[in-house]
Amino acid sequence: MEPKVARLFDSYIIAKWTAAEGKKLGDQTLWIGVAKRDVRFRLYTETHNVATRAEGEALLEHLLTEHRKRGDRVMLGLDFDFGFPAGTAALLKLEGRPWEAMGKFLSANIVDKADNTNNRYQVAAKMNRLMTDQPWPFWGAPASQAQRWLTSTKPPEDAGVDIPEFRLTEEAGLKKKLPAKSVWQMHGAGAIGGLTLVGVPMLRRLMDKLGTSAAIWPFGTGWRELGEEDLAPLSTLVVEVLPAMFKATRLENADGVKEYKTQSEVRTAAEAFAVMDDEGQLQKAFAPPAKTSAKTIDKVENEEGWILGIG
């Protein structure tokens, strides 16, 4: 019998973020799922629902602080794009490592208030103006936000935008029939653009507070299989996730009340990663697919990022 691989993490936190304006609880809002083990090492999950991103950010900081005090190592999964398709930073004429440059740019431009009002559509329009001086690559504004540099409809196929619609990780996901979306879509079912514009600055603030006790995969760790020796200095590893890749079933409580759909998604994803860790499969998920070229690895590690579990 093969020896059992030691778990990499003690807890798994999955957050489904939101780009919504206004305070709201319930389905299709900000949910956080936490899978952890009790004193008998039995896995159980808690879910939290908050009305604003500011509350969600504070809750994540609190949860991570409490786990660190207990000596737990946490995998934190967030459901927005950490990076952009290759070439975005260059079109914006940003200097430095592309993913860091994009994070600094968004942090300097996004205004996200405590009541959830934000300027994501204005920032998308500004980026379009700087990149192409046309209403693309970002698209999908609601009618009230449409303007010269941001329209409601997808740009034509021959728009001439010299930038990919998808990152490499979305292309890999689409080949597996997963519901991967382009970061350029700002509005509509499953749209990820606005989520990314407000999410990346939050991630930067969180990392500033966590300091050297945290790292972001694969930018801060390399795109490779990770083991205990790689994670030993860390209390938190932050990863990009796609909760929809796991089939979620809404549970019922003793009164017959079902979970919200979004609630079930964060719970299911947190539990799925915990099981992968138990089975010794999670460390392998951090590595690129076999025969991935050095050029692709460099692109993922320095600019685009990757969704954990795809590939």
Please report the pLDDT score of residue 155 as a whole number.
Answer: 84
Residue 4 confidence (pLDDT): 53
Domain boundaries, the chain: 11-81+193-304, 88-95+102-175
pLDDT at 2 (0 to 100): 41
DSSP 8-state code for residue 283: H
Q: Which residues of the chain have pLDDT under 50?
A: 1-3
Copy the structure tokens of residue 273.
């990663």
The pLDDT value recorded for residue 80 is 97
What the block records as the tokens of 38 is 């009790």
Predicted structure pTM score: 0.95
Q: Which residue has the tokens 């799922």?
A: 33
Task: Annotate 42-78 with DSSP letters as a single string.
Answer: -EEEEEEEESSHHHHHHHHHHHHHHHHHTT--EEEEE
pLDDT at 250: 86
